[in-house]
Amino acid sequence: MIKRLIFLGPPGAGKGTQAKVLADQWQIPHISTGDILRQATKDKTPLGQKVESFMSGGELVPDDLILDLIRERLQEEDARKGWILDGFPRNVHQAEFLEELLAELHQHADYAISLEAPDDVLVDRLLHRGRNDDAEATVRRRLQVYQEQTAPVKAFYQQHNRLKVVNGDRPPEVVSGAIAQAIA
């Protein structure tokens, strides 16, 4: 069966961790817009140079820099047998774009999984990880941006009856089990 999942949830909730587990298990691509953008900044590509200041400030990168990238990535050969999106869509405009793109490709997302945990847990996890955008002020800004722009995406998938909320404040293997149960 073709599997197509979207991971939503605040920074530090474990989207990347859980998406990787499932992608390995199902042998489908784990498409993380954050990873793609971080690689672009590392390689100093024109895209990377444009997005660096947004990322280091904890702001979303402008939609026009992300949408074409997703359009191209979902049309690559390996994405035919399914995909897991991690960090996209990040606002309602991106969610609407994705719906239209998937209709064009004769695909649909099976579920949007919102992984959730309290803010103090998220901040603690990220400060211990230490990525470039994990300084405390930036983490707080990322959480605020999540509440303002990304949390409404949950309502979008709820309206489409595709939302599954999973408590991410448990050991990783327990969270994996809860996700498997939610989408069974």
Residues lying near ligand AP5 in the complex (CB under 6 A)? 9, 11-17, 33-34, 37, 54-55, 58-61, 66, 87-88, 90, 94, 125-126, 129, 142, 168, 171-172, 175
Compute the distance between CA of residue 178 and CA of residue 184 in angstroms, rounded to an integer.
10
Shortest Å distance, C-beta 137 to ligand AP5: 13
- Distance of closest approach, residue 151 Cβ to ligand AP5, in angstroms: 12
Least distance between ligand AP5 and beta carbon 184 (Å): 20
Q: Rounded to an integer, what is the distance from CA 60 to the centroid of its chain?
A: 12
Nearest to 111 by CA among 78, 83, 90: 83
CB of residue 1 to ligand AP5, shortest distance in Å: 25
Q: How far is the CB of 19 from ligand AP5 (least distance, A)?
A: 7
C-beta closer to ligand AP5: residue 82 or 146: 146
Residue 28 or residue 55: which is nearer to ligand AP5 going by CB?
55
Q: Is beta strand 30-32 parallel, antiparallel or unpaired with respect to 163-167?
A: unpaired
Q: Which is nearer to ligand AP5, 1 or 8 (CB)?
A: 8
Nearer to ligand AP5 by C-beta: 11 or 29?
11
**Beta-carbon contacts of residue 51 (< 8 Å; ≥ 6 apart):** 37, 40, 41, 61, 65
Judged by CB, which is closer to ligand AP5: 88, or 156?
Answer: 88
- Is residue 58 classed exposed, middle or buried when 0-12, 13-18 and 19+ CB atoms within 10 A define those classes? buried
169: which strand partners? none
Q: Between β-strands 111-116 and 163-167, what pairing exists: parallel, antiparallel or unpaired? A: parallel
* CA diameter of the chain: 43
